[in-house]
Amino acid sequence: MFGVLGPVLVDGVEVAAPRQRALLAMLVLDTGRIVGHEQLIGGLYSEPPAGAANALQSQVSRLRRTVPGLVIEHHPAGYRLLAAPSEVDHLRCAELLEAGRAAEALALWRGPALADVDAPFAQVARQRLTEMLIGCAVSGGSTQDLRKVVAEHPLREDARAALIRSLHRDGHQTEALEVFAQGRALLADELGVDPSPALAAAHLEVLRAQAPHRGVPAQLTSFVGRDEDLRRVSKWLRDNRLVTLIGPGGTGKTRLAVEVAHREPGEVAFVDLSATADVARAMLDGLGIREAGLLSAGPVSVQDRLRAALSTREVVLVVDNCEHVIDDAARVLGDLLSTCPDVRVLATSREPLGITGETLSPVTALDDDAATRLFLDRAQAVKPGFHADLDVIAEVCRRLDGIALAIELAAARVRSLPLTEITARLDDRFRLLSKGSRTAAPRHRTLHAVVGWSWDLLTDAERDLAARFTVFSGGASLDAVTAVCDSDVDTLISLADKSLVEVADDRYRMLDTIHAFCATHAPDLAQRHARWFLERAQQAEPHLRAHDQIEWLARLAADHDNLVAAVTWATAHDLRLALELVAALATYYWFRGLRTEAAQQADAVLHACGETPPEGHEQEYSLCLLIAWPVATGDQSARVRQADELMDMLVDPPRYPIMTMMWGMALGAPQDDSQVWHRRNRLLGSDPWSAALALVGDGLVARMGGDPATGTDLLERAAEAFTRAGDRWGAALAFNQLGEIAMAEGDAAGALVHIERGRALLDELGATEDTAEAVIGRAQATLLTGDLDGARTDFALALTLSRRAGALVIQAGARLGLAGLARLTGDYATARHECDLAWELCPGGWYGPDQMRCHIAVERGRVAKAEGDPDLARRHFEEALRRAEAQRDLVTGHAVRVELAALPVT
């Protein structure tokens, strides 16, 4: 076998002499073809020696002697190596690659091509072979292979696209997006170009995946023993809109629901209610729905947003552990089932939900055969090769009443205890418990007995950690467990080995039944838990405004239940800590699109604090005021004034730069050169993010003040500054505003460039609602080019995206765009109807008068004008002008005055 895909080899043996090795490599590369004398001499020598032909002949002779059996033919024109293609690694590699067997082709590589050759021909040959290597990796390489190729060839977009897709298939969406972001920055810096369509397409695949089975847990063990239940529940779910799996804890309701969910062909969203008190909010999070961040949006209730997001969506909601919030779960699900005709629900609960049309499917004990198979499967997982008398296993399972969790806990012990010892210890435990209460349900006593037995077999350190672990809501990371519980990694791993703790995606969680038992032994760690997550939030906050913001957003999102629990506990027990938590989490909530949830938390903290902030926490208190005022009851303007007064007392920039942005949004657009604007600028920090934010603010003021050139310059600088800082959200905000200025100036091509750059950034953040808004901007720019069909496609896409996000105001914007299209094509009835639909979708503004209704009034005026009714047109334009003046929007006001001036005098 001849090898050049690595060091040069013949039948696994290296050729020692460097020049003979290089000669052999050239002949191997052209196996079966004559390689000319001049080509061989030029490839071997940088400066050919005198008598080069004789020198070449001498090298060939030595090579023949060095490699016995080597067949090198001499021809008048040169030399030829005789070998079958199957005996040459690079030819075999090409053959496999062409046959679609890229993984086998990649396995032929032993390192860099021609790794031990240093000759004039080698560089070009190595590049050619490297192209083949990249082709193998792109077509069939593992994620690790692709990482290596991208590291060595960072500008290869095909390899980067393949790595993105591979990471996506592995479930590493965040890393896939980071790989794209790094590539885009590198292409811009090194070559001054945007990503190719192929690389952009791989990026969009990740963004648009919207995992059809969002959040459904991956299972690390096989599904055993409920095949008939699986078939029955799957059929019932096809025929009924609400199926509830009921049964006591530990019977396997969740596992059965997960298996059904994985087999559903359409969209599925998984919602766990075990660690929440807000069912609707948990469902929004499970569906991946977030609020807009670029422009003001109406204060839509969580239930309304959920209803809007699902009203036209075909989806299965798997809602787990309903018994914890049974009344609220029944109310929310009942509302969704009555208003969203294509929603189906698979719920798990220890009691029925009591909703009309509910189909109940009891999850009962496993039969002897299924229980035995489950025990054997789990036992062999912890002790490979485990065998035992099946009758003995069956008897143990019968003793455990066929309860799946009890069987799994017992099976986990075969690593350290013989089966006979397990049986004896269980018998002892049950005799002890038989002296206790006889009122509990038999299965509850059985499960309690097995969990208690497992508890008794733990070491003191393991029992201590199991009890302390219950302080977490929704699981925890390794560093959280070791820090909050003051434990070591080995003890945690031991609990996982004994099935007391589950491990998935580098996070640890405890089954609800075990959690309830262990919590009865737990010390009070709530304050320690809250303080640790405060430190986590404070550590994360600057990263949320930097290049690694996606990674840190994902980290905080994974601990969202813990963060909510920390704020809730602190609100009731430690107001200073609560204020610090809400302030530290403000950036996370804003960028993740959880503004309403943040406002509700801040409002609760403010009510607990009263009218006066705790001494030394004035800044945190004022930030709570700025976060909470949109949902506040009573005099909202009074809260804004109080925040303004507290902000004015600050001497230095606030600890969290987002505070200045929220201050500006709460007070609205300032008058040119006003005292308010100077006060805000005084409090802007000197950090890169704050400097970029200042440029956006100045750019918006210039734009609204009728100076688009200055506004464009400032916003371009802002976009560049945010990009350097690494904040996608801020850069998208600047690009969005640049697109609007370009459209107002009639520059459709420039608008499209800005809008697309902003939309790509929003895609990376997973900001569906903001992305829908950007698509509307793209449609409007497309409309300026005269491409009505392209604009119609984008308006329809924006309508679909905003419906999925439950974003009513963005839906209104899409409707308004369709109204404009209908007017341009002369379909005035449709234009009026679309305007009416848009108006009904507007729930009112968050940060002042509703800008969307101003634009609807303008479009209604244009429709009336096109229909030849100047009086009606005037009334609509005058209404639009009142709204624009109320917002101090000089640009829109000027446009409306132009429309009014063009109307005939009546």
Q: Of 338, 362, 386, which residue sits at a domain end?
A: 362
How distant is the alpha carbon of residue 770 from its chain centre?
A: 15
Looking at the fold, whether 512 and 531 belong to one and the same domain comes out as no
The model's confidence at residue 448, banded by pLDDT at 50, 70 and 90, is confident
More confident residue, 167 or 444: 167
Looking at the structure, do residues 200 and 78 belong to the same domain, yes or no?
Answer: yes
pLDDT of residue 631: 67
User: Which of the residue ranges 93-107, 197-211, 323-337 has the most confident prediction, judged by mean pLDDT?
Assistant: 323-337
User: What's 469's domain CATH number?
Assistant: 1.10.10
Residue 507 lies in a domain: yes
Q: Is a pLDDT exceeding 50 seen at residue 848?
A: no
Q: Does residue 405 surpass a pLDDT of 50? A: yes
| Distance from C-alpha of 535 to C-alpha of 517, rounded to nearest angstrom | 29
Instruction: Count how many domains the chain has.
Output: 5
Alpha-carbon distance of 653 to 10, in angstroms, equals: 70
Q: Between 676 and 827, whose confidence is greater? A: 827
466 closest CA partner among 504, 499, 501, 497: 501
How many Cβ atoms sit within 10 Å of the Cβ of residue 369? 12
The burial class, CB within 10 Å (0-12 / 13-18 / 19+), for 109 is buried
**Range with the lowest mean pLDDT among 352-356, 498-502, 568-572?**
498-502
Tell me: do 56 and 154 sit in the same domain: yes
Domain final residue pick, 362, 380, 409? 362
User: Which residue, 208, 241, 256, sits at the end of a domain?
Assistant: 208
Contact 701, 715 (CB under 8 A): no
Query: What's the pLDDT at 573?
Result: 95
**Count of Cβ atoms closer than 10 Å to residue 612 Cβ:** 8
Query: What's 631's domain CATH number?
Result: 1.25.40
In a domain, 201, yes or no: yes
pLDDT of residue 594: 82
pLDDT at 299 over 60: no
pLDDT at 563 over 90: yes
> What mean pLDDT do residues 1-30 have?
83
**Which residue from 32, 177, 241 is spatially nearest to 548, judged by alpha carbons?**
177
Domain interval for residue 329: 214-362
Residue 715 is assigned to a structural domain of this protein: no
> Do 222 and 235 sit in the same domain of this protein?
yes
152: CB partners within 8 A, 6+ apart = none
Beta bridge partners of 45: none
| Co-location of 153 and 193 in the same domain | yes
- Based on the domain organization, do 229 and 301 belong to the same domain? yes
**824 part of a folded domain:** no
Q: Average pLDDT over the chain, rounded to whole?
A: 83
The enclosing domain of 291 has a CATH number of 3.40.50.300
pLDDT at 188 over 70: yes
State how far the Cα of 780 lies from the Cα of 65, in Å rounded to an integer.
Answer: 76
Residue 803: its pLDDT value, please? 82
Q: Write the pLDDT tens digit of every residue in 678-721.
A: 556 666 667 889 889 888 888 887 887 788 899 999 999 999 99
Q: What mean pLDDT comes out for the span 108-123?
A: 84
| Range with the poorest average pLDDT among 70-79, 394-403, 533-542 | 394-403
Least confident of 525-534, 568-577, 803-812: 803-812
- Per-residue model confidence (pLDDT) at position 296: 44
State yes or no: pLDDT of 210 exceeds 70: no
Q: How confident is the model at residue 146 (pLDDT cuts 50, 70, 90)?
A: confident
> What residue spans of 264-385 are helical by DSSP H?
279-286, 302-310, 326-339, 368-382
pLDDT of 441 higher than 60: no
Does one domain contain both 567 and 505?
Answer: no
The average pLDDT across 746-767 equals: 85
Q: Where are the alpha helices (DSSP H) in 471-525?
A: 478-484, 489-497, 512-519
Q: What percent of the chain has pLDDT over 70?
A: 90
Residues 881-889, mean pLDDT to the nearest whole number: 78
Q: Considering the domain boundaries, does residue 172 fall inside one?
A: yes
pLDDT at residue 461 is higher than 80: yes
| Euclidean distance between CA atoms 876 and 859, whole angstroms | 8
pLDDT of residue 738: 94
Q: Quickly state the pLDDT bin for 566 (edges 50, 70, 90).
A: very high
Has residue 108 been placed in a domain? yes
Q: Are residues 20 and 166 in the same domain?
A: yes
Most confident of 12-21, 155-164, 844-853: 155-164
Model confidence at 435: pLDDT above 60: no
Residue 369 in this model has a pLDDT that exceeds 90 = no
> What is the amino acid identity at position 721?
A
Is pLDDT above 50 for 432? Answer: no
Residue 672 above 90 pLDDT?
no
Q: Are 602 and 624 in contact (CB under 8 A)?
A: yes
Which of 252, 209, 242 is closest to 316 using CA atoms? 242
- The better pLDDT of the pair 695, 765 is held by 695
Statement to judge: residues 285 and 393 lie in one domain? no
pLDDT tens track for 601-655: 999 999 899 888 898 898 899 899 888 876 665 556 677 677 777 776 776 778 8
Q: Would residue 898 count as lying in a domain?
A: no
Least confident of 152-161, 209-218, 360-369, 447-456: 209-218
pLDDT of 520 reads: 85
606 and 567, same domain (yes or no): yes
